[in-house]
Structures are given as C-alpha cells and as structure tokens.
C-alpha cells in the first residue's frame, strides 16, 4: 500500500466512523523516494484535542504495517482546520452514525444561534440545542423535539 | 509596566490561557447541571490547548531549553505573567461567567489580530484559537443575559459578579507598543462587545475606579500560589514522570 493510502485509512479515535482523511485533518503525505522516509502532516480539529497523540501513534502504526517504518508526523495549525474540509462521504457517514453533520461555516464573529439542525435519526428540523459543548471538543449536544432523542452535532468551525 | 520582549509577551498569553484552564477545570463535577459541566470542561480544554501552543513557542523564543512542561510546572508565582483576572477564585457561577465574558471578549479580538500579525507562529496560533474563543464568548454571553435578565435573585447576583470582577479588566489593556499586538488597541472592540451583552442582560457597567494590576510583572494575588500548588504538585513530586 502506498503511504498516502495507508495514512488516509487511519480512523479518528473519537469518531470511529470517519477516517482522518474524510475528517479533513490529514493535510499531506510526502515520501522521499531516495530514503523512503515519509512525512505525514496533520492539523488538529481543536487546539486541546486529546486525540492527537493517539492519531499520531495510529499513523505510525499504519505506515509501518504498510512497509514504511521511517515516519515523521508533523502538526501544523495554519491554515486552521474547518468543518468545511469534511468530505461528502464523511458527512454521510456522520449522519448514518447519528451525528448531525456541520453546516457551512459562517463568517467570523459570534456564532449565530438560530440555525436549525436536522435530527439525524428522524430527519425532523424541530430540534433544539441543549449545550454548545458535547462529548468531545468538536461536538455540541442537541435534542429532537419530534422524536425526543438527544444527538450529537458536529459544530461548524 | 516595562516594555516586554517577544518571549514575555507570548508567555503572558500562554499563562492567561493556562491559569484560566486550571480555574475552569475546578468546576468539573461541580457545575449546576451536566451540560454545563461538559461545557466548562470543554472551554478549559480549549484554553489548555492554546496554553500548550503558546508556552511551547515561548520556550523556543527564550532559547534556554524550557519546554511547555518546564514553563507550566517549574516556575513559582512571581515568574508567572498572567493577568490577575484569570487567577481570581471561581466564586459562584455568576462570577465564573463574568470572568469568562471579560476574558473571551479580550481573547477573541486579541487572537483575531494575532492571526494577521507578522510573527508566523503567533499568526498560526491566533488563526486557530480565535475560532474557539468565539464559542467561549457566545457561551458566556448567553449565561450573562440569562442570569441578568432572569429572576430578581439571579439579576442581583449577576450584577454583583460584574461589579466584583470589573476592576480587573483594566490590566488586560495596558499599552505595550512593541508587542506583535498592542493590547491597548483592543479596548474599543472589547467595550462594544461587553456593552451590548450587559445592556441586553439589563445589567449596569460599573464605573472604572480601582484598577489593580501587576500580573504582567509577576506581582499576583495570593490566590495564584494556591492554584499553582495544586497544579504543580504531581509534576514536582515526580519529575519527568509519564503516563
């Protein structure tokens, strides 16, 4: 397997239905043809994301298993990760896993509160935000008023 | 305050975030409802993330071989450069929200300006952290409005909290013309943001009178020493220990 494919197949440890490629945090994979050394560049979703160490370890493990033991994982912060980088397949997988995908990002400033998020279970737009913050740094907690189920929403960033 | 080096400027921003993170984390398992427990822990985590980036960079600017852990765990109170606002005790929930409102209304324009500054590392950090600060400001604003424009009791306590914390705001905007972003230039946006929230919350902005300062020079309230004792005890007892 080439290094790009191996790194792209690593799943996010907190949202295990998505690969780091679909989540948009895999920025580049470069192999030096002379030495075989692979440099993988990733960016965090949130500055304090506790999953980053696990992701770095998983990338090294995946590349070693694919025959590329000489791996360097670099972390960059600019340009800052945006939920707009989540792929279409990633959005579909989030919804299928009961996590409402993010809306397109609004201009900078205070986040508007009047956005409607569709319930990922029953599809109803009759939902309400319970908290800006959820089970991980990238999610908010919502509830559906139609089917009464609480659900996670990957908040636009 | 004397003119600060790039190291001291970066250190002060990192210390603001680190001490704010430690204080906010004290709410874990103690918040008034579970959603709020999660929210405050998340905001603390964001602040800790910003602190790690800023302290790592500060250590590189200093060039003395200190990494983020050495700066966080092996300095005494007089060597910390955080503003007094973040080290103040949490008080009741209203005091915590007043502190968070003022801190985030300061950090958001600060990080936004940093994102455009000439220092590439600080610009990268600012471009990342400003997005998170917008959520913190939004969260604090919602609570201040809800409590201020709530019951007679919640209004009374929210106003008391604003009055108690307000004097510590002045220190945030002390001029530092040599810095990548001069904090004094952020004051107008801060005032506009806070005025809008307080008005909607039916709260009154206090007059600025007594304005304690000293945090940027390492002169702190007694509260910081206790906070550091708890934060640093494990690292100092077991130097170099890893999970």
Contact call for B46 and A78, based on CB within 8 A: no
Tens of pLDDT, residues A102-123: 988 766 555 555 568 999 999 9
Instruction: Answer yes or no: do A90 and A141 share one domain.
Output: yes
Smallest CA–CA distance from A134 into chain B, residue:
B38
Interface residue B145 vs chain A (CB under 8 A): no
Chain A residues with CB-CB distance to B41 below 8 A: 133
Tokens (6 digits) for A140: 């908010």
A91 and A63, same domain (yes or no): no
End-to-end CA distance of chain B: 40
pLDDT one-digit tens code per residue, B51-61: 999 999 999 99
CA distance B81 to chain A (A): 21
- Look at A46 and B123 and tell me if their CB atoms are within 8 Å: no
* pLDDT the model gives residue A135: 84
pLDDT of residue B182: 96
Contact assignment for B38 to A113 by CB distance below 8 Å: no
ipTM beyond cut 0.95: no
According to the model, what pLDDT value does residue A110 have?
A: 57
pLDDT at B2 exceeding the cut of 60: no
pLDDT digits (tens, 9 = 90+) for B155-210: 999 999 999 999 999 999 999 988 999 999 999 999 999 999 999 999 999 998 89
Domain around B51? 6-203+216-237
Task: With H, G, I as helix, E, B as strand and everything else as coil, classify residue A154.
Answer: strand
Note whether residue A81 is domain-resident: no
Question: What one-character DSSP code corresponds to residue A104?
Answer: P
In chain B, the percentage of residues whose pLDDT exceeds 70 is 98
Residue labelled with tokens 């966080």: B72
Residues A93 and A149 in one domain: yes
Predicted confidence at residue A109, as pLDDT, reads 56
* Residue A90 and residue A149 in one domain: yes
Q: Is B80 exposed, middle or buried (0-12, 13-18, 19+ CB in 10 A)?
A: buried
Query: Which structural domain, as residue segments, surrounds residue A39?
Result: 3-75
For an interface test with B, give the residue of A14, A25, A46, A129 to mutate (most B CBs within 10 A): A46
Contact indicator for A129, A140 with CB cutoff of 8 Å: yes
DSSP state of A19: B
Interchain pair A78, B128: CB under 8 A: yes
Q: Are A92 and A124 contained in the same domain?
A: yes
Give the model confidence (pLDDT) of B16-59 as tens digits: 999 999 999 999 999 988 889 999 999 999 999 999 999 999 99
Residue B107, in any domain of the structure: yes
Considering chain A, what is the average pLDDT of its residues? 91
Distance between CA atoms of residues B56 and B54, nearest Å: 5
In a domain, B130, yes or no: yes
Q: Is residue B154 part of a domain?
A: yes
pLDDT of the residue at A112: 53
Q: How far apart, in whole angstroms, are the C-alpha atoms of residue A66 and residue B147?
A: 56
Alpha-carbon span B121 to B101, nearest angstrom = 26
């Amino acid at each position: 397997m080439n290094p790009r494919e191996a790194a792209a197949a690593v799943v996010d440890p907190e949202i295990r239905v998505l690969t780091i490629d679909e989540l948009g945090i895999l920025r580049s994979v470069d192999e030096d043809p002379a030495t075989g050394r692979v440099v993988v560049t990733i960016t965090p979703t949130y500055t304090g994301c506790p999953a980053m160490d696990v992701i770095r370890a998983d990338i090294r493990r995946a590349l070693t298993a694919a025959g590329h033991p000489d791996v360097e994982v670099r972390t960059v912060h600019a340009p800052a990760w945006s939920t707009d980088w989540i792929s279409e397949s990633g959005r579909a997988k989030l919804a299928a896993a009961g996590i409402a995908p993010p809306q397109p990002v609004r201009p900078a400033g205070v986040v508007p509160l009047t956005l409607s998020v569709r319930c990922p279970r029953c599809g109803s737009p009759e939902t309400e935000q319970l908290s800006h913050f959820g089970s991980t740094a990238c999610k908010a907690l919502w509830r559906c008023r139609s089917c009464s189920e609480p659900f996670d929403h990957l908040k636009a960033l | 305050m004397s003119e600060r080096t790039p190291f001291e400027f970066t250190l002060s921003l990192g210390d603001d975030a680190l001490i704010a993170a430690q204080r906010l984390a004290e709410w874990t398992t103690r918040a008034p409802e579970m959603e709020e427990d999660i929210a405050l822990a998340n905001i603390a985590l964001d602040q800790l993330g910003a602190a790690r980036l800023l302290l790592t960079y500060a250590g590189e600017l200093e060039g003395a071989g200190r990494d983020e852990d050495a700066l966080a765990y092996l300095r005494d109170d007089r060597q910390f450069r955080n503003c007094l606002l973040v080290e103040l005790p949490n008080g009741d929930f209203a005091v915590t929200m007043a502190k968070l409102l003022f801190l985030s209304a300061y950090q958001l324009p600060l990080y936004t300006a940093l994102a455009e500054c000439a220092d590439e590392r600080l610009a990268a950090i600012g471009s990342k952290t400003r997005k998170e600060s917008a959520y913190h400001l939004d969260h604090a604003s919602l609570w201040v409005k809800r409590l201020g424009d709530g019951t007679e009791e919640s209004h009374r306590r929210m106003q008391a909290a604003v009055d108690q914390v307000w004097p510590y705001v002045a220190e945030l905007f002390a001029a530092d013309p040599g810095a990548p972003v001069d904090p004094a230039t952020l004051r107008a946006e801060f005032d506009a943001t806070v005025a809008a929230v307080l008005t909607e919350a039916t709260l009154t902005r206090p007059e600025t009178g007594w304005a304690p300062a000293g945090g940027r020079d390492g002169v702190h309230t007694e509260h910081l020493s206790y906070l550091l004792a708890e934060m640093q005890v494990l690292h100092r007892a077991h130097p170099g220990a890893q999970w």
